A and B are shown apart, each in its own frame.
Chain A
Amino acid sequence: MEKIKELISNKLPNAIIEEGKYLTITATKEDFRTLAEIVRQNDVLCFDYLAHICGVDKDGKLGVVYFLSSSADMSKNIVLHTSTDDREHPELFTVSDLWDTANINEREIYDFFGIRFINHPDMRRFFLSKEWKGFPLRKDYADENPLSLESVEIDDHLSRLTFENNEVIEAEEKVFEDEDYVVNIGPQHPATHGVLHYRVSLDGEIIKKVDPHCGYIHRGIEKLSEGLAYPQILHFTDRLDYLSSHINRHALCMCIEKAGEIEVPLRAEYIRMIMDELTRIASHLLGWSCMCMDMGALTAFIYGMRDREKILDIFEENCGGRLITNYNVIGGVMQDIRQDFQKQVSEYIKYQREKLKEYHAIYTGNVIARGRMEGVGIFSKEQAISFGVTGPAGRASGFHCDIRKVAPYSLYDKVKFNEVLRTEGDTFARYIVRLDEIEESLNIIEQLIDGIPDGDFRNKPKPIIKLPAGEYFQRVETARGEFGVYLVSDGEKTPSRLHFRSPSMTLVSAMDTISRGEKIADFIAIGGSMDYVVPDIDR
């Protein structure tokens, strides 16, 4: 890290380098491009994984924050800042050619902050329609968009900004050509796992281009959070990726607890972790069964749902909720576990291990299933890193990205488990990683379940929580990959900016690259193997 610091200060003497929990570098608009290139391409430690990229409106300036890790050593992080004073025509340079994941994220920033990125290949709004007035996440945004009942055509024109002779030139292009055979997969379609809309251009059965169209169920959670106190924000996280509700909430709780220096009793940590892993198993079971259903195996789907039900029953008894558990609170968990919790969970572990064999028998070994999955939708490790694809999908490509291993939180450094890694990067690898992870999660729970210590289940903080001014990051491993919380506090009881790093969004952004040249049936299978959840994209 010292070397990186030296490298940057040599090349960019104007950049402001701060050392806190993370190495933070602030650069001006003009210098930023050089800074990004140094960070991405150097001989010392190249930061090739862009975890967070989010816009901020702070002190009258519109800026972007980049949170980077190195795939070689994910615990090494660096934070980059850049901003512009121009609020009329804010323009910054894109980094989408350095990190592919920036492509879709910069569109989101444009959508919410109005910052246009020069040289970005596809500068359309992402969640909102073209007609939307204003940029909602700016601090001076006043809503002037009456509820419209008119049908709005999907915008097919994209603008591309280029920078020549100190002047920004705008050029228009079309997403699809007129002669393309464009099929809408979604928003109402049996296999899109929610209200997601892909426009797919086909050549016979072969896919030429995929254009994801999001925002059908966007709820503006990040904007809503800015007006609410910390304990009130918590329940939103359950509704992001509702299949990893518990883990998402764990992330935000941890972020607030670390920032506010609130201690969590050991008993609560144990309970949180067991619940996290149960959530992960439930999510993987659903992912597995939906993938099987997408490929036409309904029986396997029902098997998965049957076993997931057991976990939901455990949740129901202990948390009160089945899907949206509402269980984590700042300082611990909402209520204590019930007396027979340990017994139930131990029984479940035994039951699930047996059932895993059944899954392999009915589906993994099936010759048709193997033919449909092996060698289809290959995604290389480099692509996975560049697109920021983490979780089971990233690990199937050999990306060592399990946050539980690389940046352990809670008690993950105290339990023994293997990170399931495969190198093929095809649909089958993504499929089998998920099943193997269920087994690892069962192992983790088994190590914890009998050792839950006595004591408080919650450390009650003060009713009004104020976090010291500053910016805070917290990353956890959900069932779909790295979930991140980025929190900026002004010292008030509400956050000034709260951004969630959505693992599903990166999965969707990679769909175009993975499925080009594959058949339409494979597109569905690949989508199943990526296992994205739409509310996580449309935050």
Chain B
Amino acid sequence: MFDFQIVTNWFDELLRGCMPEFWVLTIEFVLVGVILLTLYALIALALIYGERKICAFFQCRLGPNRVGTWGVLQPIADMFKILLKEIISINHIDKVLFYTAPFIVIASSFLAFGALPFGKGMQVLDFNIGIFYILAVSSLGIVGILMAGWASNNKFSMIGAMRSGAQLISYELSAGISLLTVVALAGTMQLCEIVEAQADGWFIFKGHIPAIIAFIIYLIAGHAETNRGPFDLPEAESELTAGYHTEYSGIQFGFFYLSEYLNMFIIAGIATTMFLGGWMPFHISGWDGFNAIMDYIPSVIWFFGKVTLLIFLSLWVRWTFPRLRIDQLLHLEWKYLLPINMVNLVVMAIIVVYGWHF
């Protein structure tokens, strides 16, 4: 399997051969930043197109089909539209909070996005508390949402932000504990080691029952963290018009929109890395021939393939279920998911201690 580190190491040595270390690092930082930003935007565009097409097929419609063949250029047209739109200035708002809120939301999702391992050797940050870092930065987004709701000076936004606060903080617990279950199994928090540990079987198979439970809970909690239906209460279009981003327009709204899609990708990416082996091909220990064939498929394709599958699952849920009510939402978390999760963690610990996993 091709290790992308060969490319990065070669490039690093090339630069070091002709300039001092300060410039090498600067160039590398800028390059990585630009590549990630481009990837971020491209993935968002692809997701927007994918969602619109898929939801159209769920709803017996055609979806976008006028701009370009099968409407593939539609999200690009949308992007230009949103870039060109006027940013409407609103009276009686807290200007500082109002204008920084979208940046905090998008920055938190970008920070988490950067730490994902996209393929073998394709990871910007790989330090020993990788998963902990991702959890920490991705939950920063809630600060931006609360700020947006508070600063808008709008009652709907306020209710939306309060709902969002209650929802994200609750579901962060479930997401965290279900990931902890996998960390207990893997024995490490470093993302590359977690992926490597799944070389002879993904954790969802290795950890059997507790891993499957943790996987399902993580999907639910992660879905809730992305603020998408049936958990889209902070926006709740039919109740709160648009919730916390009611007052935003133009590219500021675009930031919220973008980060919502990317959060969906990040959640799917984390679930893939932790449960479905990340970029690791599908291996069955002992079947060497089969494993070798699987290795021919590049690691990037494995990663994006699994992520796409999970995103499709999340779209399916979103376009089928109606919205929950705030008390039902918290009920689900605090009375069902969290207790199940805690017991599950203990079960996993016992399994690991006695070595009952595969």
A482 to B327, CA, bound (A): 36
Q: Chain B contacts of A522 at CB under 8 A?
A: 325
CB <8 Å contact, A368 and B326: no
B232 touches A296 (CB 8 A): yes
Taking a contact as CB atoms closer than 8 A, the residue among A202, A297, A521 that contacts B326 in the complex is: A521
Is A362 touching B320 in the complex (CB atoms < 8 A)?
yes
Q: Chain A interface: which of B3-11, B34-42, B233-241?
A: B233-241
A405 at the interface (CB under 8 A from B): no
Is there contact, CB below 8 Å, between B60 and A368? no
Q: Is the CB of B59 within 8 A of A299?
A: yes
A295 near B60: Cβ-Cβ < 8 Å: no
CA of A451 to CA of B26, assembled, Å: 86
CA distance A366 to B327 in the complex (A): 18
Taking the nearest CB of chain A, how far is it from the CB of B126, in angstroms? Answer: 39
Which of A168-176, A183-191, A229-237, A343-351 lines the interface with chain B?
Answer: A183-191
Size band of the A side of the interface?
20 to 34
- Please tell me if the beta carbons of B327 and A519 are within 8 angstroms of each other in the complex: yes
Verify B322–A366 contact, CB threshold 8 A. yes
Roughly how many angstroms separate A379 CA and B328 CA in the complex, as a whole number?
Answer: 22
Q: Which residues from 208 to 252 on chain B have a C-beta closer than 8 Å to any C-beta of chain A?
A: 229-230, 232-233, 236-239, 241
* B155 with A302: CB separation less than 8 A: no
Complex formed: what's the CA distance from A366 to B319 in Å?
A: 13
Q: Which residue of B lies closest to A369 (CB)?
A: B322
- Answer yes or no: A463 CB below 8 A from chain B CBs: no
Q: Is B132 part of the contact surface with A, judged by Cβ < 8 Å? A: no
Residue A371 lies at the interface, judged by CB distance under 8 Å to chain B:
yes
B93 CB within 8 Å of chain A: no
- Nearest Cβ on chain B to A219's Cβ, whole angstroms: 27
Residue of A nearest to B237 (CB): A190
Contacts of B155 in A (CB 8 A): 181, 183
Query: What residues of A have a CB within 8 angstroms of the CB of B320 in the complex?
Result: 297, 299, 362, 366
Say yes or no: A302 contacts B322, CB within 8 Å.
no
- A277 interfacial contact with B, CB 8 Å: no
Residue B324 at the chain A interface, CB threshold 8 Å: yes
Which residues of A51-67 have CB atoms within 8 Å of chain B's CB atoms? none
Question: Is residue B321 contacting chain A, with contact meaning CB distance below 8 A?
Answer: yes
A520 lies within 8 A of chain B by Cβ = yes
Which of the residues B229, B321, B325 comes within 8 Å of A521, measured between beta carbons?
B325
User: A292 is contacted by which of B55, B230, B237, B322 (Cβ under 8 Å)?
Assistant: B322
Alpha-carbon gap, A522 to B233, bound state (A): 13
Q: Is the CB of B238 within 8 A of A191?
A: yes
Within residues 276 to 305 of chain A, which ones have a CB less than 8 A from any CB in chain B? 292-300, 302-303
Contact of B239 among A298, A363, A524 (CB under 8 A): A524
Question: Is A306's CB within 8 Å of the partner chain B?
Answer: yes
Complex alpha-carbon distance, A176 and B356, angstroms: 64
- List chain A residues, Cβ under 8 A from B326: 205, 519, 521
Scan A183-220; emit 1 where CB is below 8 A from any B CB, else 0. 10000011100000000001001000000000000000
Q: Is the CB of B323 within 8 A of A296?
A: yes
Interface residues on B, range: 20 to 34
Complex: how many Å from CA A366 to CA B233? 18
A181 and B156 alpha carbons, distance in the complex (Å): 11
* Among A190, A292, A521, residue most surrounded by chain B Cβ atoms (within 10 Å): A521
Is A33 an interface residue, CB under 8 A from the partner? no
A363 to B321, CA, bound (A): 8
- Tell me how many residue pairs across A and B have CB atoms closer than 8 Å: 84
Is the CB of B61 closer than 8 A to any CB of chain A? yes
A296/B238 in contact, CB under 8 A:
yes
**Assembly CA distance A377 to B233 (angstroms):** 20
Q: A181-B155, A292-B322 are in contact. Are A299 and B239 (CB under 8 A)?
A: no
Is B2 an interface residue when CB atoms closer than 8 A count as contact?
A: no
Among A298, A306, A372, A524, point to the contact of B319 (Cβ < 8 A): A298
Q: Mark A347-379, 1 if CB is under 8 A from B, else 0.
A: 000000000000000110010110110000000
Report the bound CA distance from A300 to B320 in whole Å: 8
Flag if B230 contacts A302 (CB, 8 Å).
Answer: no
B89 CB to nearest A CB, Å = 20
Q: Look across to chain A and name the residue whose beta carbon is closest to the beta carbon of B232.
A: A296
Among B61, B241, B322, the residue within 8 A (CB) of A368 is B322
Among B59, B322, B328, contact of A296 (Cβ-Cβ < 8 Å): B322
Q: Restricting to B311-349, which residues have a CB under 8 Å from any CB of A? A: 319-328
A297 to B322, CA, bound (A): 4
Report which residue of A294, A296, A371 has the largest number of chain B beta carbons within 10 angstroms of its beta carbon.
A296
CB pair A520 B239 closer than 8 Å? yes
Cα A526 to Cα B55 in complex, Å, equals 27
Give Cα distance in the complex from A183 to B59, angstroms: 33
Q: A191-B238, A520-B159 are in contact. Are A368 and B230 (CB under 8 A)?
A: yes
Cα distance, A439 to B232, chains bound together (Å) = 33
The reply on B29 being an interface residue by CB < 8 A is: no
* A521 x B60 contact (CB < 8 A): no
In the assembly, what is the distance between CA of A471 and CA of B327, in Å? 53
B127 within 8 A of A: no
From B163, B230, B233, B238, A293 is in contact (CB under 8 Å) with B238
- CB contacts (< 8 Å) of A368 on chain B: these are 230, 321-324, 328
Chain B residues closer than 8 Å to A362, beta-carbon distance: 320
Q: Any chain A CB within 8 A of the CB of B23?
A: no
Q: Are A521 and B236 in contact (CB under 8 A)?
A: yes
Q: Which residues of A contact B325 (CB under 8 A)?
A: 371-372, 519, 521-522
Pair B241/A190 contact, Cβ less than 8 Å: yes
Complex contact B60–A205 (CB within 8 A): no
Q: A181-B155, A190-B241 are in contact. Are A299 and B328 (CB under 8 A)?
A: no
- With known contacts A181-B155, A303-B59, A521-B236, A295–B328 Cβ distance under 8 A: no
CA distance A295 to B230 in the complex (A): 10
Q: Is there an interface contact between B322 and A363, defined as CB atoms closer than 8 Å?
A: yes
CB of B80 within 8 A of chain A? no
Distance in Å from the Cβ of B234 to the closest Cβ of chain A?
12
8 A/B residue pairs, CB under 8 Å, sorted by A: A183-B159, A205-B163, A296-B236, A297-B322, A297-B323, A372-B325, A521-B236, A522-B325
Apart from A372-B323, A519-B325, what are 17 other A-B pairs with CB-CB below 8 Å?
A: A183-B155, A189-B241, A296-B229, A296-B230, A296-B236, A296-B238, A296-B321, A297-B320, A297-B321, A297-B322, A297-B323, A298-B319, A299-B55, A299-B58, A368-B230, A521-B233, A523-B239
